[in-house]
């Protein structure tokens, strides 16, 4: 059996946000029901190089795979390279044959954007009017794309510590560049920054707001004023990952927030095992990124590539 090699261009020609959102939603539901296998994410910190690698294995809906992905925030400025790049290996769980090796950079971006939109639909108010994007990088682009798949007619307000970056984002993708405070007053807020100190203050956030905290994906990272978490219904993607590296990790270690206040996982809410929003409370989705989301999208890409004859098949492993 040959292994299909799929480049980033191949993946880009196949993957759409319209396909990513339902696949990610199924992955969350399976995780909530305990129908997936997902060991803890493994971190390889590389402080001398200003970044880290993560290994993320999982099994979901008959597919097994692992993503090897980095986070090097200084890459764009230092090397003119993306901050996040990855490779995904999709395997046959019955025979261990490597079905495909593909670029995972787009998988990572699309599944993260889709996760935010899925959470907004599950936890946010019905009929939101405004979307605040805090951080105007690549991740904000896919978060916007995913929310436009799920919701119609959203007014988009974007903010960034670098005002010119937010202005370019607004001009290119539609919306209005505003201050951090104004973006924090939206019906839905998505934070996607590498911040290690709060950039959204409690007094800026209105009742009924839903917040997707997407940037905190490693120990010490933090985007929200801990008082927001104290006042909110907090929903996480995974218990182990969130308490160690999610938005709640810093407040938990400082004592500003208690683990017992975490309401549920998003998978539990989507699967109907735990209730979601009840009224006009603030809701927060603490996203660290699940390996089963990557497996779900990798399978979508692999199946479509086979159908459309995309990619290069090679004898990668003897006897595969």
pTM comes to: 0.94
At 75, which CATH number?
Answer: 3.30.1780.10
Contact 10, 309 (CB under 8 A): no
Q: What is the mean pLDDT of residues 137-143?
A: 94
Closest CA relative to residue 217, chosen from 241, 251, 198 = 241
Q: Which residues of 38-59 are buried (b: 16+ CB within 10 A; e: fewer)?
A: beebebeeeeeeebbbbebbbb
Q: Identify the pLDDT of residue 73.
A: 87
| pLDDT exceeds 80 at position 154 | yes
Q: Could you tell me if 59 and 160 lie in one domain?
A: no
Closest CA relative to residue 45, chosen from 37, 55, 35 = 55
Residue 112, in any domain of the structure? no
| Enzyme catalytic residues | 67
Residue 61, in any domain of the structure? yes
Q: Could you tell me if 214 and 146 lie in one domain?
A: yes
Q: What does the pLDDT look like over 13-31, one tens digit per residue? A: 999 999 999 999 999 999 9
Residue 293 — very low, low, confident or very high, per pLDDT cuts 50/70/90? very high
Residue 118, in any domain of the structure? no
Q: What is the mean pLDDT of residues 151-175?
A: 96
Q: Identify the pLDDT of residue 213.
A: 98
Q: What does the pLDDT look like over 178-190, one tens digit per residue? A: 999 999 999 999 9
Q: Could you tell me if 192 and 86 lie in one domain?
A: no
The residues near 30 (Cβ < 8 Å, ≥ 6 apart) are: 36, 60, 61, 267, 292
Q: Could you tell me if 25 and 154 lie in one domain?
A: no
Torsion angle of C-alpha atoms 193, 142, 128, 285, degrees rounded to 10: -50
Q: What does the pLDDT look like over 192-213, one tens digit per residue? A: 998 999 999 999 999 999 999 9
Q: Identify the pLDDT of residue 263.
A: 98
Q: Which residue has the higher pLDDT, 82 or 6?
A: 6
Q: What is the mean pLDDT of residues 78-100?
A: 95
Q: Could you tell me if 172 and 221 lie in one domain?
A: yes
How far out from the chain centre does Cα 180 lie? 21
Q: Identify the pLDDT of residue 40.
A: 85
Residue 119, in any domain of the structure? no
| pLDDT exceeds 60 at position 257 | yes
Range of the domain at 173: 124-290
How far apart (Å, rounded) are the C-alpha atoms in residues 287 and 310? 32
Q: Identify the pLDDT of residue 282.
A: 98
Q: What does the pLDDT look like over 226-244, one tens digit per residue? A: 999 999 999 999 999 999 9
Considering its fold, how many domains does the chain have in total?
2
Closest CA relative to residue 296, chosen from 61, 54, 7, 57 = 61
Residue 82 CA: distances (Å) to CA of 46, 114, 155: 17, 20, 28
Q: Could you tell me if 140 and 13 lie in one domain?
A: no
Q: Per DSSP, which regions of the chain are E strands?
A: 3-6, 42-46, 51-60, 63-71, 86-91, 98-103, 130-134, 155-159, 176-177, 188-191, 196-200, 210-213, 222-224, 233-236, 262-265, 283-286, 312-314
Q: What is the mean pLDDT of residues 138-159?
A: 97
DSSP state of 314: E
Q: How does the average pLDDT of the chain come out, rounded?
A: 96
The residues near 155 (Cβ < 8 Å, ≥ 6 apart) are: 129, 130, 131, 175, 176
Query: Kind of pairing, strands 233-236 and 188-191?
Result: unpaired
Q: Could you tell me if 130 and 241 lie in one domain?
A: yes
| pLDDT exceeds 80 at position 320 | no
Q: What is the mean pLDDT of residues 215-225?
A: 92
């Amino acid at each position: 059996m040959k292994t299909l090699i799929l480049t980033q261009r191949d993946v880009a020609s196949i993957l759409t946000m319209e396909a990513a959102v339902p696949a990610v939603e199924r992955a969350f539901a399976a995780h909530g029901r305990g129908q997936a296998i997902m060991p803890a994410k493994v971190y390889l910190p590389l402080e001398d190089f200003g970044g880290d690698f993560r290994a993320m294995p999982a099994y979901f809906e008959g597919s097994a795979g692992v993503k090897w992905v980095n986070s090097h925030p200084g890459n764009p400025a230092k090397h003119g390279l993306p901050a996040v790049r990855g490779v995904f290996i999709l395997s046959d769980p019955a025979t261990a044959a490597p079905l495909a090796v593909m670029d995972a950079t787009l998988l990572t971006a699309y599944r993260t954007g889709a996760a935010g939109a899925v959470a907004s639909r599950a936890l946010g108010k019905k009929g939101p009017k405004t979307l605040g994007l805090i951080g105007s990088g690549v991740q904000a682009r896919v978060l916007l794309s995913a929310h436009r798949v799920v919701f119609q007619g959203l007014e988009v307000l974007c903010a960034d510590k670098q005002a010119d970056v937010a202005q370019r984002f607004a001009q290119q993708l539609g919306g209005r560049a505003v201050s951090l405070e104004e973006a924090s007053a939206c019906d839905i807020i998505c934070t996607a920054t590498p911040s290690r100190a709060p950039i959204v203050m409690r007094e800026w956030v209105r009742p009924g707001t839903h917040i997707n905290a997407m940037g905190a994906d490693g120990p010490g990272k933090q985007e929200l004023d801990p008082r927001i978490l104290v006042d909110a219904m907090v929903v996480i993607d995974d218990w182990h990952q969130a308490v160690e590296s999610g938005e709640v990790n810093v407040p938990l270690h400082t004592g500003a927030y208690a683990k017992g206040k975490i309401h549920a996982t998003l998978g539990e809410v989507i699967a109907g095992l735990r209730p979601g929003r009840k009224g006009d409370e603030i809701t927060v989705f603490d996203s660290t990124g699940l390996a089963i989301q990557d497996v779900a999208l990798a399978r979508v890409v692999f199946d479509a590539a086979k159908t459309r004859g995309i990619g290069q098949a090679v004898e990668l492993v003897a006897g595969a």
